[in-house]
Structure 1
Amino acid sequence: MNQFEPNKNIGRLLLDAGKLKLNDIELIEHCQREQGLLFGEAAVKLGLVAEADILQILAQQFEYPYLQPGEGGISAQLVAAYQPFAPQTEAFRALRSQLMLRWFNEEHKQLALVGVGKGEACSVLAANLAIVFSQLEQRTVLVDANMRSPRQHQLFNLNQSVGLSELLVGRTGMEAICKIPHFADLSVLPSGAIPPNPQELLGRPSFRLLMRHLAKNFDITLLDTPDGLLCADTQNVVAETGAALLVMLKHQTRISDALAMQTQIINSKAQIVGAVLNELPY
C-alpha cells in the first residue's frame, strides 16, 4: 500500500474517528520501528484498522471528500462519491480533465449533458461528473432540467417537492438549490414537481435569468436533460448553455440518431464539446 503521510498526524485522526484506542498507538509505533513501516501500513498489518479506514483518513488530510458505503444516503450508482479509486471513477476524472481543457474557463461555465435516446444513463453520468468537479474544489451546481423523468433527487436523496419548475414560475427562490452534505463545493437543483409544460417553462426569461445567476455564483454548472431526440425541452437548454456533451450507449444508440442529435444541437447554435459512450445502462 503506497501512501504519502504529511505532517498531520494520522494516528490522531484515527483516534478522533474512533478507529483506534490510545494503547493501539503504542503497538503500531513499535511495529513501525521494528519493521520500518509507515504508520498506516503498520496499523493495517496488525489488523487494528482496515485499509479503507486509512484511505478515508488520507482523503481527509488532502481535502478530497468521499463517503463510506451506506453513508450520506446517496445512491450507490454514484461511484465517485464512494469509490475514489475505482476504474469508473478514474474514467469520470479523465472526462473532467478533457472538459477542463476543451470547454470550461472564465467565459464558459455551463454545459448540458444530452442523452441521444432512452437509457443512455445521462443522469447518472451527470451526477458522478458533478461530484468529481466538486472534488477539484470547483464550486459546482447540478441542475436537473429533466422535468419529464427526473432522477437527481433520487440519486442524491433530496426532497423533490421544490425545485426548478417552482423556481421558473416564481414560487420559490434560490433556496431551492440544495447543498450536498460531505461535499462542500457541490450543490444540486432538483427538478421539482413535474409540470405539464416543461418546454414552455424552459423557454421563459426566468430560465435565462437563472443561468446568469448560476454563472456568477458557480464555477461549473452541469444540466441533466431529457432524452434529446424525444423531447424538444433539450434544445431550449442547449441553446441557453451554448454547449452540449452527447451521451450514447454502446451497442444500442444508432449512428443515425446520434447524427440527428448533432444536427439539432448545431441548429440551436450550440457547440458539441464531446461525446461519451456508456457501456452499461442504469
Structure 2
Amino acid sequence: MTDTSLPADQAELPALTAGDALLQTGLLSDSDARKVAEHQAKTGLDFDRAAVELGLATPEDVAQARLQLQGSLALNLAPSADVTEELVVISDPAGVRAEAIRLLRTQVMSQHVAAGRRALAICGAVDGSGVTYVAANLAAALAQVGLKTLLVDANLRNPRIDGIFGIDPGGPGLTTYLALEASRPERVVYPEVLPNLSVIPAGPPVGRPQELLSGARFRLCVDILLREYDIVIFDTPASNESADALTIAGLVGYALIVARRDKAYINDIQSLSEQLGAARAIIIGSVLNEFE
C-alpha cells in the first residue's frame, strides 16, 4: 500500500474538513491547480496536502488560506447565480455529503478523465435515484479543481438543472438547439455559472424528446461540445420511464449508474446495466446515493 502521509516537516498542516482552501481562495493559478488535481487523483490526498507535496504551496500558505475561509466563508463560497442548497459542494462544503462527492470526483478523475475521456452520462433505473443531484454536484466539484466543465441537462422530460443553478426555466436550452431554433450548441451555453462550470439547461418543453435525442443534430452537438470542454456531464431521465438515458449514454460512450436505497431493486440496476451494455456504453462505476 502506498504511504500517503506527509513528511515530518509538513505534518503540522492544520486540519480543514473541506481540504481545498488553496483552491477556494484562489491562491493557486489555473495551471498549478490542474497539476494538483492530477496529483490528487493519483495519491488520494486532499487538495491542500497534494499542493504541499508538489511544492506548489507551503503549510503556512494553507494555514493562511484556511484562516481566510474561516473569516469570510459565505463571501468565498457565494456563487454568482442563485444556486440552491442541493448543490452541497457549495452550500455545505464541510459536510459529509460534499466529502462523498469529492471522493467520487477523485475516482472519476483517476479512472475516467485521466484516460482522456471527456463525456459521462449519469444514469438511474428509477425516478428519485438522485441522478440530477449527483450530476450537478459532480460537475461543480470537477470545476472546483480547475477542469473546464460543462453540465448538460439532457433530461428533457423532467428537467431540474435550471432550478438548481437559478437559470430561467423558460430560457433557451438544449431543446432550442435541437429544434433548430439556434444554429450552434454554443449559443445555448450559460457560461461560467460558477468558476470553470458552464451549463446547458434542458430548455423549453418539447413533445418528442426521444426523436430529438436520437437525431443527427444531437450527435453533432455532442461532438462539438466534447472538443470545447475538459469534461461534459449529461443528466438523464430514469431508464424505466423512457429510452432517453440509453440513447444518450450510447452516444457519449460512458455511463455512471446512480442508485438510491429503498428506491430501486437490484434487478432494476442489473437490467439497466444490461441495457447500457447493449447500447454500447461503458459503465465506469456506480454510486449508492443515500443523501439526496
Short-chain TM bin: 0.7 to 0.9
Give the letter aligned to residue 225 of structure 2: L
1:43-58 to structure 2, matched below 5 A, reads: 52-55=70-73
| Unpaired runs of at least 5, structure 2 | 1-13, 23-59
Match of 2:289 in 1: 278
Distance in 2 of aligned mates of 1:151 and 1:180: 18
Q: Give secondary structure in 2 for the equivalent of 1:146.
A: coil
Once the 2 structures are TM-superposed, how far is the Cα of residue 54 of structure 1 from its aligned partner? 4.5
1:3-18 to structure 2, matched below 5 A, reads: none
Q: Provide runs of 4+ in structure 1 moved above 3 Å.
A: 1-6, 49-52, 54-57
Q: Give secondary structure in 1 for the equivalent of 2:100.
A: helix
Match of 1:97 in 2: 106
Q: Give secondary structure in 1 for the equivalent of 2:113.
A: coil
Match of 2:87 in 1: 78
What's the TM-score once normalised by structure 2's chain length? Answer: 0.73
Match of 1:115 in 2: 124
Distance in 2 of aligned mates of 1:139 and 1:106: 16
Q: Is the 8 A contact 2:119 2:233 kept in 1?
A: yes
Work out which of the residue numbers 178, 181, 204 in structure 1 matches 2:190: 178
Give the letter aligned to residue 163 of structure 1: G
What's the TM-score once normalised by structure 1's chain length? Answer: 0.76
Q: Is the 8 A contact 1:250 1:280 kept in 2?
A: no
After superposition, the C-alpha distances for 1:165-202 in whole angstroms (9 at most, x for unaligned) are: 11112212312110244x22000000001111000000
Match of 1:27 in 2: none
Once the 2 structures are TM-superposed, how far is the Cα of residue 213 of structure 1 from its aligned partner? 1.1
Distance in 2 of aligned mates of 1:191 and 1:165: 6
Give the letter aligned to residue 179 of structure 1: P
Give the letter aligned to residue 99 of structure 1: V
Match of 1:158 in 2: 167
Larger of the two Rg values belongs to structure? 1
Once the 2 structures are TM-superposed, how far is the Cα of residue 102 of structure 1 from its aligned partner? 1.5
| Unpaired runs of at least 5, structure 1 | 7-37, 42-48, 60-65
Give the aligned length: 236
Q: What is the aligned-residue identity percentage?
A: 30
Work out which of the residue numbers 198, 207, 227 in structure 2 matches 1:196: 207
Query: What is the RMSD computed on CA atoms of the aligned residues?
Result: 3.0
Distance in 2 of aligned mates of 1:265 and 1:214: 22
Match of 2:149 in 1: 140
Give the letter aligned to residue 226 of structure 1: P
After superposition, the C-alpha distances for 1:179-235 in whole angstroms (9 at most, x for unaligned) are: 244x22000000001111000000111111111111111001000000012211111
Once the 2 structures are TM-superposed, how far is the Cα of residue 252 of structure 1 from its aligned partner? 2.4
Q: Structure 1 147/128 Cα, relative in aligned 2: closer, same or farther at 3 Å? A: same
Give the letter aligned to residue 181 of structure 2: R
Q: Structure 1 184/280 Cα, relative in aligned 2: closer, same or farther at 3 Å? A: closer
Match of 1:220 in 2: 231
Give the letter aligned to residue 177 of structure 1: V
